Chains A and B, each alone.
Chain A
């Protein structure tokens, strides 16, 4: 446990084994392990909104599982395209490092989220509105995403210095990941659990498309 936390500290500082440019020296499973370790902490707290019955406690567990699931499933869908485009731009030799950089970004996001969990719990404690809870979580995710970006850029900067084409792949990854991630998050609802809705792992309604729903909201089609 202590060694795991020490590793996390090193990772946050980008030091020791986690110094940019030392991709080959560290074991590959550390970054996924961090996502699996820290993601559920925030997920559980996010699902603790309106915790007034034993069933709602189940939602904490569901949300805990769903945060890393969201990150991993999105990555898996984007990876084939990322791999082929990297290869085409002549960056295949760096692919291991590029993959570690994007995983590091997600690990950074998970750790930042976990560190914000007490703040979210405090917010739920002081404010009962579901809408406010939605907005607050959106704000926390935005903040954590920024932290993830900082971590990812730390590793990508080394790559870009070596081969400038990595800049294109960085932008491509962010674009693909955001595009798929938004829909994935939409499909994996509920994360917070609207009051009055039954507790379930996934909403019991036909699958729908987040972008179409937003377009309908805006244009009223």
Chain B
């Protein structure tokens, strides 16, 4: 347990993704440690999420005892959502990374993604006590949905920042390639790119992305551009599959008006449901 937390601490402190640590293009992250760790952190958030059933039970809004199974269901389903999405998307994420000139190999790509999921779930788990506190004192379903979405969004953006930063650190061209090009411009003269909409710029303040002064700025810009393309494709694929995965695994919170079920009947898809909801809201139909 202590050893696990130490590993997590190393990751969160950024030691596993520091420019020095990534200098050889490898991530020193053990999957044997981090997959269970991500699952444990996800279970923590899921556990607090499931408390809504307890709140409904206590307040008498929906006093059926079988509802309390929702606590167990959410605890198991939340890590499953993230890890199953990774299983489904990993082959395509790897292919697109290789296709667009990403430097990381097969295992390192997996390590990087598991690292990002771990960061995501660690932030979510650390916000868990706040979620639990609100869940126990709230019966409003809409509020709980919004709060869960808000907390997972915060955690998601932090993880995206981590992912983009690490991708960029893995991106620079190999030093020996750069050395063959005569150095005309002073090294490290160009400023970093501005943050994209999905990556808060604060992550660029942590430290210079590249410390190796032998890399020519033009090459670096090109490599960073590639890293950003890979990042955008990854986010798109993962988000689309993740949204549908969440739809299949629902219910996570448990609507007070519906009976408890481990899984809802498999009907429709996430995107259809969004369109139907928007139509209902606008009164088209």
Q: Do A and B come from one complex?
A: yes
Q: Check if A87 is an interface residue, CB within 8 A of chain B.
A: yes
Interface residue stretch chosen among A35-43, A122-130, A138-146, A206-214: A206-214
Stretch from B95-103, B201-209, B241-249, B270-278 that touches the partner: B201-209
Residues of A within 8 A of B205 (CB): 164-165
Q: How far is the CB of A174 from chain B (nearest CB, A)?
A: 14
- CB A173 to nearest CB in B, in angstroms, measures 13
Residues of A within 8 A of B263 (CB): none
How extensive is the interface on chain B, given as a class?
20 to 34
Hey, which chain B residues are within 8 Å of A179, CB to CB? 130
| Min CB–CB distance A215 → chain B (angstroms) | 8
Kindly provide the distance from the CB of A11 to the nearest chain B CB, expressed in whole angstroms. Answer: 29
Asked whether A178 is an interface residue with its Cβ less than 8 Å from the other chain, the reply is no
Q: Is the CB of B133 within 8 A of A88?
A: no
User: Is the pair A165, B206 in contact by a Cβ cutoff of 8 Å?
Assistant: yes
Bound state CA distance, A184 and B122, in angstroms? 24
What residues of chain A lie closer than 8 Å to B55, measured between beta carbons? 207
**Are B129 and A183 closer than 8 Å at their CB atoms?**
no
The reply to whether A92 and B13 contact each other, CB–CB distance below 8 Å, is yes
Query: Contact mask A165-194 → B, CB, 8 Å, 1/0?
Result: 100100000001001100110010000000
Nearest CB of chain A from residue B205's CB, rounded to whole Å: 6
Q: Are A77 and B126 in contact (CB under 8 A)?
A: no
Is A195 engaged at the interface, CB distance under 8 Å to the other chain? no
Contacts of A180 in B (CB 8 A): 130, 133
- Is B137 at the interface (CB under 8 A from chain A)? yes
Interface residues of B in 7-38 (CB under 8 A from A): 9, 12-14
Task: For A73, give the chain B residue with the smallest CB separation.
Answer: B133
Nearest Cβ distance between residue A114 and chain B, in whole angstroms?
Answer: 27
User: How far, in whole Å, are A78 and B131 apart by their CA atoms in the complex?
Assistant: 10
**Known A-B contacts A90-B13, A183-B137; A209 and B130 likewise in contact (beta carbons under 8 Å):** no
Bound complex: CA of A16 vs CA of B134, how far in Å?
41
A90 proximity list for chain B (CB < 8 A): 13-14, 206-207
Q: Roughly how many angstroms separate A85 CA and B13 CA in the complex, as a whole number?
A: 10
Q: From known contacts A80-B129, A165-B206, A212-B143, infer whether A207 and B14 are also in contact, taking CB-CB under 8 Å.
A: no
Interface mask (B150-189 → A, CB under 8 Å = 1, otherwise 0): 0000000010001000000000000000000000000000
Interface string of B243-271 (1 = CB under 8 A from A): 00000000000000000000000000000
Known: A164-B205, A212-B143. A81 touches B130 (CB 8 A): yes
- In whole angstroms, how far apart are the Cα atoms of A92 and B10 in the complex? 11
Where chain A touches its partner, the secondary structure class is: helix
Check if B59 is an interface residue, CB within 8 A of chain A.
Answer: yes
Residues of chain A lying within 8 A (CB to CB) of residue B113: none
Residue from B59, B136, B206 with most neighbouring chain A CB atoms (10 Å): B206
Interface centre among A76, A164, A207 (most CB of B within 10 A): A207
Pick the contact of A77: B9, B12, B58, B133 (CB < 8 A): B133
Complex Cα spacing A211 to B142, Å: 11
Tell me if A77 and B143 are in contact (CB < 8 A): no
A80-B126, A80-B127 known; A168-B202 Cβ under 8 A: yes
Q: Give the residue of B12, B59, B128, B140 whose beta carbon is less than 8 angstroms from that of A88.
A: B12
Chain B: minimal CB distance from A5 (Å): 35
A85 CA to B119 CA, complexed, in Å: 10
CB pair A209 B137 closer than 8 Å: yes
Q: Does B190 contact A (CB under 8 A)?
A: no
B255 CB to nearest A CB, Å: 16
Instruction: State whether A212 and B138 are in contact (beta carbons under 8 Å apart), knowing that A88-B123, A89-B206 are contacts in the complex.
Output: yes
Contact of B137 among A76, A85, A87, A187 (CB under 8 A): A187
Residue of A nearest to B41 (CB): A84
Cβ-defined contact, A84 with B126, below 8 A: yes
Residues of B within 8 Å of A136, CB to CB, are none
Q: Is the CB of A207 within 8 A of B202?
A: no
B14's partner among A84, A85, A88, A212 (CB-CB below 8 A) is: A88
CA distance A206 to B140 in the complex (A): 13
B9 touching A88, Cβ below 8 Å? no
Given A87-B13, A207-B59, A209-B143 in contact, is the A81-B206 Cβ separation under 8 Å?
A: no
Distance in Å from the Cβ of B60 to the closest Cβ of chain A?
8
Q: How far is the CA of A12 from the CA of B74 in the complex (A)?
A: 48
A83 adjacent to chain B (CB < 8 Å): yes
Is A176 within 8 A of B134, CB to CB?
A: no
- B→A interface (CB under 8 Å): 9, 12-14, 55, 58-60, 119, 122-123, 125-130, 133-134, 136-140, 143, 158, 162, 202, 205-207
Q: Can you list 5 A-B pairs with a CB-CB distance of less than 8 A?
A: A84-B123, A84-B126, A85-B158, A208-B138, A209-B143
By Cβ-Cβ distance, the 5 closest A-B pairs, closest first, are: A84-B126, A207-B137, A209-B138, A80-B126, A87-B12
